[in-house]
Chains A and B, each alone.
Chain A
Amino acid sequence: MYSSRKICLPITVILLAAGSLAGAAEPGSFGYGRVATPAQIAGWDIDVRGEDGAGLPPGKGTVDRGADVYAEQCAACHGTFGEGEGRFPKLVGGVGSLRDERPEPTVGSYWPFAPTLWDYINRAMPMAAPHTLSADDVYALTAYILSLNDLVPHEFVADRNSLPKVKMRNRDNFIWSDPRPDTVAAPCMNACVNAADVRISSTAEGRNLTPRTTGPLDTMQPK
C-alpha cells in the first residue's frame, strides 16, 4: 500500500499536466482539423426536425407531381398506392389498427410528424440511389404520400411552411420518455413457483422457421 502510494504521486502530477494539455475548457486547444466554413457545412447540413420542420429547404411540390415521381421512383417496392410489395414497407393503411393483434404502423396510422417524411425520403430514398432527388421532388413525394393517407386534400402543396402544420393522426400517442424499469421482481431462490404449474406455453420445435446453423448459408427457399 505504502509503496504504491509513493508511485502514485508523480503519476498524479503527470496526469494533471496532461489534463491541462487537453485544455478541458478551451475550444481549439488541440488545433487539429479545420474550422468548417458555412459553405462546407451547407454541403452536409440536410437534417430536418420532425416537430417544427426546422431545416426544411426552399421549394415546393404538388400531389400530382408527386404521383408521377412516385410511379417512377417508389412504386416498384412500395406498391402503386403505397400498399407495399413483398416485405417492403406499406406506406398507407392501418388506421385504427394500433391496438389490434396485428397492428399496421404506416405513415397514415403511426408516423407522428410530417416533416420527418420529407427528411427520410430526402436522406435515404430511393433505396438504390439515395439523396439524388431534388428538393421539389421530395416535397412532391411527401405531398403525394400524405394525400394517399387522406392526411391532406388533393390540392395540397407541400413546402417548408405547410408541412409542419399537417396534423398526423398518431402525433399525440407517443410518450417521449422512458418509463422503464417497468417490471419489478424479487429474485426468489427456492420454491418460487409451484412445480405443478410450470407449463410450456409455446415451443419453437417443429415450426420450421429457423435457418440452419451449420453448413452454408440457408436461403430458406423450397428445395
Chain B
Amino acid sequence: MRHNPLRSKAILSDLAGSDAPVGRRGFLTLGAALTGGLALGGKTAMADPAPEAPPADAPWSQSIGAGVVDRPYGRPADTEASVIRRNVPWLTASAESSVSFSPLQDLHGIITPNGLFFERHHAGRPDIDPAQHKLMIHGLVERPLLLTMKDILRFPSISRIHFIECPANGGMNWRAAQMNSLQFSHGMVSCAEWTGVRLSTLLEETGVKKDAKWAMVEGADGAHMNRSLPLDKCLDDCLVVYAQNGEALRPEQGYPLRLVVPGWEGNVNIKWLRRIKLGDKPWHSREETSKYTDLMPDGTSRGFTWLIDAKSVITFPCPEKPLDGPGLYEIRGLAWTGNGKVRRVDVSMDGGVNWQTAWLHEPVLSKALTKFTLPWRWDGRPALVASRVIDETGYVQPTIAELRKQRGSNSVYHNNSIQTWQVKSDGSVFNVQLA
C-alpha cells in the first residue's frame, strides 16, 4: 500500500494507540514531541545538562566556521565516526577474502552512501589505474572488442537504482539466531544509483552469434573472479557501470568498471570487470560449484540459484537501536525483491499472530530497496516485532521454519526469512527465532 496523505489525515485523529497505518506526512504533523526519541532511537541520546534552562547559543553559534574547500571532498561529521562498515573477524580466514557489513542501523532512506556500501572481496581490493583498464568482449561474437574506459564512457549512458545483496546475507542465522545486531545479520545488502552502459548495447556493438547462450564475466582482481550468466539476462537488464551515486565507482565496488545484474545475487555482479566471453554452455566455475550452491538435507545441491527472493527487515527498533521507554514510535524498515517491485509490507508486534500493513515510501522501484514505516504506540510490555514483504509476483517472505522445512540449515545462501526482534520491557532488543 502506497503513501496516501488524504487517508492519513482522515485517520490521524485516532492515531494514538491505533493499529491503522498512517502516512508519513500525517505522522509528522504530530510535531516535535516525537522527534527526539525517533531520531536518536534509544538510550544513547545525549543528556541535556540543564533541561529546564532556556536554550542558549552554543560555541559554534558564536564563532566563525571553516571556509569552503576546508574539506575539498567532504566527510561525515566527526561525531558520526561509529557509522562504518564492520567485519566479523572470526568468520573468515583473512580480511582479503572476506566481507564487511553496511551499518543499516544508522542509515536513512534507500540509498547507501558510497563509503558504507558493503564489501565482498575474494582477493582483496585492487587499486586499478583506469588508464590501463580494458574490457574485452569476445567468444561467440561477430566482432570481438577491446574497449578502454574512454571508449565505454562514449556509449549511451543509463542510470538505475538497484540493490545488491550477497546471497550469504543472513547466512549466520540459518541454524540459529547468532548475531545480535542488524548490521551483522542484514548488512550485506546495499543500494545505489548506478550509471553506465547497458550490456545489451555493448553486445549489439559486438554482434552475437546464434549459438551463444551464456556469458562468462570476469574481474581483473587477483581472484580473476568469474561467473556464468544466461545470455537472456545479459540482454534484459544488466548494466556495465562506472559510476555509483553520481561519482566514479569506489575501488571497493569495482573501480573503474563493474557489472550490475539487477535482482541477482551479489557474487555475479562482477567487480573490476575486464572480460565478457560468450559461449554455448555455462562454465561451472569454482564460484558456481564449490561455492554459491545450496546444499539440501538430502545431500543434493542447487546450482545457478541467482535470484534474490523477497526480503524485509525492521531497521528501527533493532539490537543497536533500542527503545527509550513506552510511547509512540515509528517502526522503520527496508524491503526488496529480485522479482521486481515490493507490493506490500506487513508488520507484527506479537510474533506473527496479528499483522498490520505498513506504508511504503516513494520511490518504490524495481529491484531496489524500498522504505516502509508504521507508527507504534509501545506500552512497555515485551513484544516480538517482525516484518513480512509480499512482492509484485505475490511471493510472500517465509519464516525461518518454513525455509528450514524445505532446505534444512546447511544451504548457507539465500536466507530471506522473516526477522523477529524481541523487545524486552526495558526497551532492549534481541535477535530471536520463533518455533
Q: Which residues of A contact B (CB under 8 A)?
A: 18, 22-30, 32-36, 40-41, 44-52, 77, 86-89, 98-99, 101, 103, 105, 107, 110-113, 116-117, 119-120, 123-124, 127, 130-131, 170, 173-195, 197-205, 207, 209-211, 213-215, 217-221
Contact = CB atoms under 8 A, between A and B. Distances in A.
B299 A173 contact: yes
Q: What is the interface of chain B mostly: helix, strand, loop, or mixed?
A: loop
Contact of B309 (A23, A47, A113, A181): A181
B372 interface: no
Contacts, number: 289
A171 to B, nearest CB: 10
The CB with the most chain A CB atoms within 10 A, among B180, B305, B406, is that of B180
Interface stretch (B92-100, B246-254, B360-368): B92-100
A50 B299 contact: no
Contacts of A220: 88-90
B377 interface: no
Interface stretch (B46-54, B68-76, B427-435): B427-435
Q: What is the interface of chain A mostly: helix, strand, loop, or mixed?
A: loop
A187 B154 contact: no
Contact of A203 (B299, B407, B431): B431
A36 to B, nearest CB: 4
27 contacts: A22-B156, A27-B142, A32-B152, A32-B205, A36-B136, A36-B144, A44-B136, A47-B283, A86-B93, A116-B285, A116-B286, A124-B223, A130-B123, A170-B301, A183-B398, A183-B406, A185-B399, A188-B355, A191-B353, A193-B351, A198-B434, A204-B181, A204-B319, A204-B432, A210-B178, A211-B86, A218-B89
B430 A204 contact: yes
A34 B222 CA distance: 25
Interface of B: 44, 82, 84, 86-90, 92-94, 96-97, 103, 105, 122-123, 136-138, 141-148, 151-152, 154-156, 176-181, 183-184, 201, 204-207, 216, 218, 222-226, 274-275, 277, 279, 281-286, 289-290, 293, 295, 297-307, 309, 319-320, 344, 346, 350-356, 384, 388, 390, 395-396, 398-399, 402-403, 406-407, 410, 414, 422, 430-435
A40 B162 CA distance: 34
Contact of B298 (A99, A127, A170, A193): A99
A120 B204 contact: no
B142 A99 contact: no
